[in-house]
Amino acid sequence: MREITYKEAIREAMIEKMREDEKVFLMGEDIGVYGGAFGVSMGMLKEFGPWRILETPMSEAAFTGVGVGAAIMGMRPIVEIMFADFLTFSADQLVNQAAKLRYMTGGQVKIPLVIRAPQGSGTGAAAQHSQNVEAWFFNIPGIKIVVPSNPYNAKGLLKSAIEDDNPVLFLEHKLLYNKKGKIPEDDYRVPLGQPHIEKEGDDITIVTTSIMTYRAIEAAKKLEEEGISVEIIDLLTIKPLNTEIIEKSVKKTHRLLVVYEGCLTGGIGGEIIAKIAESNAFLYLDAPMFRLGGKDVPIPYNKNLERAAVPQIEDIIKKVRFIVKGDWYA
């Protein structure tokens, strides 16, 4: 095992896939000489040249469309969107083309397209550069959504995404890029659609993703000192949403909290809770199920307001105490 950062793990996944498959290429704004807005593709231009590290004009709609077309023609493009917020410009290509064409052609056309995009708050980038966008695409059939939380699963999931024959939206949290973690020397994959039990516990299940996994782990450490045992499930893939592990966990702990950074209203938490409510795991609950999401506000620029707009460690602790101690509606 060796220790590398989250962004190095993503870079390694791209480099290794490009070395083994000439159909894989990367395109996006400032990804070549500059190495990308967050340095993820640093040095790749030197190895692969301008025909496989394609610098694009500042038009997400145009180059996402090029990616869709390239995928239809048998290539395996990786399209980098500088900030996930700018996926609004790519929406028609993703929602009306990439997500639907395989179905509309009866499987004759494959769309092996990966869209990489950094999202999330915490960098002082304000309302137009700090959103969590997974809920926007959660309602669209035909797109897979991946939200890696550490270097190990970032590399393994990205390789699986590149090898998939369907469009995959690969959302990277900006605050995780410099987080370090251990990964194997050997080649490996992390399969899409398989949540991971990050920590086992007995009193409550926390389902979470991305940077919230770290915050849930820190909250769980403090809650352990109070005698509250927390089980943490990192979804890794939001779509397809596999709830089997969640159901099994809820049957054990009898309580559920879903923690996510995106806006509370219309977020992934409501769907996860609905799935559990429709399963026989619902019969095992000793408390109502709860969501802990971001405030329904644009992300502020002010650092204190920005922090207050999304769940922090202390918010998770407070919510878990509230659920476990039973004062739900007092």
How does residue 216 score in pLDDT terms, banded at 50, 70 and 90? very high
134 is annotated as an active-site residue: no
Band the pLDDT of 322: cuts 50, 70, 90: very high
Task: Give pLDDT tens digits for 14-40.
Answer: 999 999 999 999 999 999 999 999 999
pLDDT tens column, 167-205: 999 999 999 999 999 999 999 999 999 999 999 999 999
Q: 0.85 cut: is pTM over it?
A: yes
- For residue 157, name the pLDDT band (cuts at 50, 70, 90): very high
Q: Which domains does the chain have, with CATH numbers?
A: 2-183 (3.40.50.970), 196-325 (3.40.50.920)
**What DSSP assignment string belongs to 177-216?**
TT-EEEE-SS-----TT--EEEE--SSEEEEE-HHHHHHH
- Give the dihedral of Cα atoms 219, 222, 223, 229; nearest 10 deg: 90
254 is catalytic: no
Q: Which of 8, 29, 80, 129 is catalytic?
A: 129
**What letter does residue 95 receive in the DSSP assignment?**
I
pLDDT of residue 326: 82
Q: Which of 60, 80, 198, 231 is catalytic?
A: 60
Question: How far apart are alpha carbons 46 and 43 in whole angstroms?
Answer: 6
Task: Kindly report the average pLDDT of the chain as a whole number.
Answer: 96
